[in-house]
Structure 1
Amino acid sequence: MRLLKFVLLSCLFAFALTACQTTGTQNNKLSEMQYNYSAAIRWGDFEGAVNLMKPELRAKMAPTPLQLERYKQIQVSGYADVGSSADKEKGTAVRLVNIGVINRHTLAERNVRYTEAWEWDPEIKTWWLISGLPDFWEGQ
């Protein structure tokens, strides 16, 4: 009887440890993808940022060559995380950021608020951006 309890407790412990490790891996992957995305935006690598979009949405939301030329007219001066939340059951995450943007022609700086939306892909165990690139010209 003692042996049976020990085996059952060992199995439960192993299962709990595996579940924690999976959640930890998912959190780590989200942090890694968000870091890569923010680095791409900060350095003006908008084509690289597009590669972090969900493949099904990439074809619909990818910027045109003209839009990519427009992105070359700005310089990102800052990228600050304002707040974030995640729903692990639904496999979604949202992060609100402030982005400092400088127009290369006028040298005028302004701040843009942008909401990143992410979706977990359990098959390949990665997060995909589902919100598209920031629209730095909205309201202008």
Structure 2
Amino acid sequence: MRRITSLLIVLLSGLLLAGCATKTRSDALTTTLKAYGSTLRWGDFQSAAQFVEPKVRAAHPLTSLQLARFQQVRVTEYNDDAGPVPTGDFDVQQTVVINLVNIHNQSERSVVDHQTWHYDEATRHWWLTSGLPDITQD
């Protein structure tokens, strides 16, 4: 009987710890997505690049042309109402519609940004693996 009780205690402890880890991961995702969205709403693409997973950022650094394009637009809306959709234990996808105004000719257009986020257990951090939005799309 003691053996069964001990086993139950161990199993319940494991479930509680797993639940805590999931809640911590979920809270971190919410915080990260809000911070990223806020950064883009303010049009701070250089700061937004810091959300990109370091290996992706190193493999695909922002070019001077990309930075110049980002400086030519103002973000007028960042619509993330659809919210993140889990695609695995450590991955989510989110589709965002970003409205941009060209500061030179005041034309407005929308781009759809398909974001992929991955949770790194070692650093306990969510990283954007899909890169910054492609604002050149029509």
Same fold by TM-score greater than 0.5 = yes
5+ residue gaps in structure 1? none
Aligned match of 1:115: 114
So what's the TM-score if we normalise by structure 2? 0.90
Using the TM superposition, name which of 102-111 and 61-70 deviates more: 61-70
Question: How does 1:1-140 map onto structure 2 within 5 Å?
Answer: 1=1, 3-81=2-80, 82-89=82-89, 91-139=90-138
1:62–1:132 contact (8 Å) kept in structure 2: no
Secondary structure, aligned partner of 1:106? coil
The AA in structure 2 aligned to 1:64 is T
5+ residue gaps in structure 2? none
Percent identity (aligned): 34
Deviation string, structure 1 residues 45-104 (Cα, Å, up to 9, x no partner): 111111111111102223112321221110001111134311333x21100011111111
1:95–1:117 contact (8 Å) kept in structure 2: yes
So what's the TM-score if we normalise by structure 1? 0.88
Is the alpha carbon distance of 1:86 and 1:117 closer, same or farther for their aligned partners in structure 2, counting shifts above 3 Å?
same
Q: Distance in 1 between matches of 2:31 and 2:45?
A: 17
Q: Distance in 2 between matches of 1:95 and 1:125?
A: 20
Q: How large is the RMSD of aligned CA atoms in angstroms? A: 1.5
May I ask how many residue pairs the two structures share in their alignment? 137
Secondary structure, aligned partner of 2:84? strand
